[in-house]
Amino acid sequence: MSTEEVCKRTLDISIPVSEVEAETEKVVASLQKKLRLPGFRPGHVPTSIIRSRFKEDIRQDVLENLAPKFFRERAEAEGLNLAGPPSLHDVKYEPGQPLQFKVDFEVLPSFELKEYEGLPVVYRDPEVTDEEVSQRLEHLREEKAEYVDIDPRPLAAGDFAVVSLESLAGVEGEPIKNDEMVLHIGSEDTLPAFTENLTGAAPGEQREFDVTYSEDYTERRLAGKTVRFRAVVKGVRRKELPELNDEFAHDLGDYKDLGELREALRNVMLREKEFVAQQDAKNKLVEKLVDLHDFPVPEALIEHRIEDIVEQNLRSLAVRGVDPRTVKLDWDKIRESQREKAVRDVKASLLLDRVADKQQIEPTTDEVDRELQRLARQERQPVAALRVKFEKDGTLRRIASHIRTEKTLNYLFERARKVAE
């Protein structure tokens, strides 16, 4: 028996004749109210005709109404923790006889939680150097840079060229057309073909040239293509950076001088580094926790996780401008390649839930409300309206679950044994 099969269960369920007949009467009465048949007034179709003409519909409705109810009651009575939707089969449904059927389903695994506090993890409190702060300041200067027009002259390396650009051939769909774009001549961010063909051109001059894009170019409709462009130089600009002084600090915010700005940046960068370092440590702790525990995983949860992973991959393709329908991929192989990761992800989720249960870790109302308020600001919706929507579609439950998981990870990290590399 495989580890997944350990989680599989089958129940034989029998529903008494009295329950079946009572439910049948309800279904027939409901149909009688709704049916419109020629020769009969609405609501007055004889039940004998309804039972004869709609026999299969009645049987299906009775089965759908009673089977889930009796299965749920049986599962609760036996203390079964379901891991996925049940599958009903071998139905025996005869007049005057109990309604009998079998239900296949999976249950959550039973396992003993091993020691989870004091797990060793590589972690060192991060530091922010003066050089890193200076680099961040330079980045801010770049963001505040101004581009100033200079007297017309031929373009040279380092210039910012203002050009009108239009594709003449090689582009599928709408042609590329930009009346005023800025290209940094000689920069790594500028394709070499643009630098080579525009260097030496003066404002008012027009040039035509081909640009070949790499196969992995970010804009998919240009990837691997050779496009012919017409470019007209409209002007030359230079970049002017603001001076790094107290006035620069004042312009960025409520800072009394450059020193205070530096300190504020250091604190921000430290929090960023701490977040990344702690996330990495938490991921390693979860991996250790999974390695310590060997227990069966329900197939339903594995399949659900694989679906999530594949969906994430599809969204990633869409973000990069790739239509998944146009890509020839062996999705069966892709799904199988993700199976091991899915198993570990499910185990991690079950383990974190068990730790949270044992430590009675739960999200507070305030924590859920703060996240709801953040999302309401982000989506520009009233909090009350978003709450109603999220309660209906299950998002509020997922928010609470996410907060619970994060609190559990924080608990594990706080109690872990941090060791140097």
Cβ-based neighbour number of residue 236 at 10 Å: 22
Give φ, ψ of 241 to 5 degrees. Answer: -90, 140
**pLDDT value of residue 40:** 79
The count of structural domains within the chain is: 3
Domain end marker among 74, 106, 138: 106
As given in the structure block, the two tokens for residue 363 are 């999200």
165 shares a domain with 58: no
Sign of CA dihedral 277, 408, 363, 402: positive
Domain membership of residue 223 (yes or no) is yes
- SS3 at position 417: strand
- State the SS3 of 177-217: EEEEEEEECCCCCCCHHHHHHHCCCCCCCEEEEEEECCCCC
The answer to whether 412 and 116 have CB atoms below 8 angstroms apart is yes
**Residue that the structure tokens 């929090």 belong to:** 271
Which amino acid is present at 279?
Answer: Q
The answer to whether 264 and 140 have CB atoms below 8 angstroms apart is no
415 shares a domain with 275: yes
Report the predicted TM-score, pTM, of the whole model to 2 decimal places.
0.78
Domain membership of residue 48 (yes or no) is yes
The answer to whether 360 and 353 have CB atoms below 8 angstroms apart is no
Q: Alpha carbon 277 to chain centroid distance?
A: 22
Helices within 240-382 (DSSP H only): 246-252, 258-292, 299-319, 331-337, 339-359, 365-379
Domain ranges, residue 63: 5-106
156 shares a domain with 81: no
Domain membership of residue 47 (yes or no) is yes
Which amino acid is present at 93?
Answer: Y
Domain end marker among 240, 261, 279: 240
Give φ, ψ of 82 to 5 degrees. Answer: -70, 145
Cβ-based neighbour number of residue 324 at 10 Å: 14
296 shares a domain with 400: yes
Domain harbouring 407, CATH code: 1.10.3120.10
Which amino acid is present at 180?
Answer: E
207 shares a domain with 309: no
The answer to whether 198 and 155 have CB atoms below 8 angstroms apart is yes
DSSP percent split of the chain into helix, strand, coil, nearest 5: 50, 20, 30
Domain membership of residue 339 (yes or no) is yes
**pLDDT value of residue 37:** 81
Domain end marker among 240, 257, 289: 240
| Residue 169 host element (H or E) | strand 160-169
Integer angstrom CA distances of residue 205 from 22, 148, 157, 162: 89, 20, 17, 12
46 shares a domain with 165: no
- DSSP assignment letter at 43: T
Domain harbouring 153, CATH code: 3.10.50.40
What pLDDT digit, counting tens, does each position of 265-301 carry?
A: 999 999 999 999 999 999 999 999 999 999 999 999 9
- Mean pLDDT (the chain, rounded): 92
**pLDDT value of residue 34:** 82
295 shares a domain with 234: no
**pLDDT value of residue 77:** 93
Residues 6+ apart with CB under 8 A from 347: 290, 293, 295, 297
What pLDDT digit, counting tens, does each position of 10-47 carry?
A: 999 999 999 999 999 999 888 888 887 887 777 778 88
Domain membership of residue 325 (yes or no) is yes
Domain membership of residue 53 (yes or no) is yes
Domain membership of residue 255 (yes or no) is no
167 shares a domain with 277: no
- DSSP assignment letter at 174: S
360 shares a domain with 278: yes
49 shares a domain with 100: yes
Low-confidence ranges of the chain (pLDDT < 50): 1
Rounded Cα distance, 67 and 72, in Å: 8
334 shares a domain with 207: no
Domain membership of residue 291 (yes or no) is yes
373 shares a domain with 287: yes
**Residue that the structure tokens 């239900």 belong to:** 103
The answer to whether 168 and 157 have CB atoms below 8 angstroms apart is no
**pLDDT value of residue 3:** 52
